[in-house]
């Protein structure tokens, strides 16, 4: 397998590992719930507050105490970031599998691709009418004057997932926990909203327009370009509208400027969406209108992110069935619980 096909997943695994270890209470004294004096209740001892039969092995309090002291619960308490890895995978793979299913479903439907090209032409016509059609001049500027910058643009484009994951690790470690939870839900809402838009208005990117249009596909100049993760039959190519690359870059910058405790991070954060908008336009991967709509997606998602809280009972039920307790660190940020007591609880 070529090295380029290993680099991206390898970097994701590495970041997951770093995030898990760095946020481990065993390594950083990061804390979880203060345990009660007795972690496991004797099943033969009556439990007066149990809504089931007091003192029976099946009582709620008895089972809850066993769950709190179970090996799985203690492991999650020691490595609470594992819950974030689960959330990320649910969000990411639900979105990607939906796109992959769509790509397979429409791949032999020429009319769908023709309509996507018509939508792209309509967008271009509208941009020309209002003076926003800068995609071709910008790409030509790179091709003729700064061709050596094209690999840099490709690197920026393909680093989208890795840098977003790095941002999540940083946010989990430094942001107030309620803010982190809101932005995590916002990312999930952004994926859902973006998929709805791209399904309702399929749009070809500039790079896939007919040759006479004058755009160059610098991301895939030959069949072997890119990687197996970004160039395969499961990729939905007619999904230019909206540009989630830019939308997420803008949202990441906003969150860093608002909540980062580090001045240098707040200062540099706006450079990321600027670099991304130049990248997606310079590589002919999006239209200007795609970028504008993409920037609105996280704004709408932010306003509606609490809808995911409706799934909390499902999450709690699954934890109950699996016999594990959700780590307190998933809901409580750094410095909000007693370090020594929680360290003793985990140890």
Write out pLDDT tens, residues 195-225.
Answer: 999 999 999 999 999 999 999 998 876 655 5
pLDDT value for 53: 38
The pLDDT of 263-268, averaged and rounded, is 98
- The gap from C-alpha 281 to its chain's centroid, in whole angstroms, comes to 22
Which is higher by pLDDT, 132 or 341? 132
Identify the pLDDT of residue 35.
42
333 pLDDT exceeds 80? no
Largest CA distance in the chain: 82
pLDDT at 6 (0 to 100): 73
Structure tokens at 196: 């709805």
d(CA 219, CA 166): 23
pLDDT tens digit sequence for 242-251: 999 999 999 9
Helix then strand then coil, in percent of the chain rounded to 5, is 70, 0, 30
Q: What pairs with residue 239 in β-bridges? A: 203
301 against 23, higher pLDDT: 301
- pLDDT at residue 43 in the model: 39
Top-confidence residue, 32 or 142: 142
Cα–Cα distance, 164 to 256 (Å, whole number): 12
Across the chain, what does the average pLDDT equal? Answer: 83
Distance separating alpha carbons of residues 327 and 344, to the nearest angstrom:
15
Which pLDDT score, from 0 to 100, does residue 231 have? 55
Supply φ then ψ for residue 245, to 5 degrees: -60, -50
* 171 pLDDT more than 80: yes
The pLDDT value recorded for residue 219 is 85
Q: Which of 302, 245, 301, 242 lies closest to 273, judged by CA?
A: 245
**Residue with the larger pLDDT of the pair 55 and 22:** 22
Domain boundaries, the chain: 25-78+327-346, 85-308
């Amino acid at each position: 397998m070529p090295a380029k096909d290993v680099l991206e997943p390898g970097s994701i695994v590495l970041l997951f590992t770093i995030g898990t270890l760095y946020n481990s209470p065993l390594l950083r004294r990061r804390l979880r719930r203060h345990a009660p004096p007795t972690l496991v209740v004797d099943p033969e001892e009556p439990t007066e507050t149990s809504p089931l039969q007091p003192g029976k092995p099946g009582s709620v309090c008895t089972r809850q105490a066993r769950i709190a002291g179970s090996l799985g619960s203690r492991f999650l308490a020691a490595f609470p970031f594992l819950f974030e890895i689960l959330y990320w995978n649910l969000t990411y793979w639900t979105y990607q599998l939906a796109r992959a299913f769509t790509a397979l479903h429409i791949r032999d439907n020429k009319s769908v691709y023709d309509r996507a090209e018509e939508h792209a032409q309509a967008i271009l016509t509208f941009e020309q009418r209002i003076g926003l059609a800068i995609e071709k001049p910008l790409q030509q500027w790179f091709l003729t004057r700064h061709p050596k910058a094209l690999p840099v643009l490709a690197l920026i484009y393909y680093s989208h997932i890795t840098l977003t994951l790095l941002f999540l690790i940083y946010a989990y470690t430094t942001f107030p926990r309620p803010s982190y939870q809101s932005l995590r839900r916002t990312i999930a809402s952004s994926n859902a909203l973006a998929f709805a838009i791209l399904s309702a208005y399929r749009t070809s990117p500039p790079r896939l327009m007919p040759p006479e249009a004058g755009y160059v596909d610098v991301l895939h100049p030959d069949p072997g370009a890119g990687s197996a993760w970004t160039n395969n039959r499961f990729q939905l190519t007619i999904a230019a509208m909206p540009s989630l690359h830019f939308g997420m870059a803008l949202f990441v910058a906003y969150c860093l400027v608002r909540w980062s405790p580090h001045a240098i991070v707040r200062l540099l954060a706006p450079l990321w969406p600027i670099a991304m908008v130049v990248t997606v336009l310079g590589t002919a991967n999006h239209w200007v209108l795609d970028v504008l709509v993409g920037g609105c997606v996280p704004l709408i998602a932010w306003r509606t992110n609490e809808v995911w809280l409706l799934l909390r009972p499902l999450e709690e039920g699954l934890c109950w069935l699996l016999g594990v307790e959700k780590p307190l660190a998933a809901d409580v940020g750094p410095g909000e619980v007693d370090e020594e007591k929680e360290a003793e609880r985990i140890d």
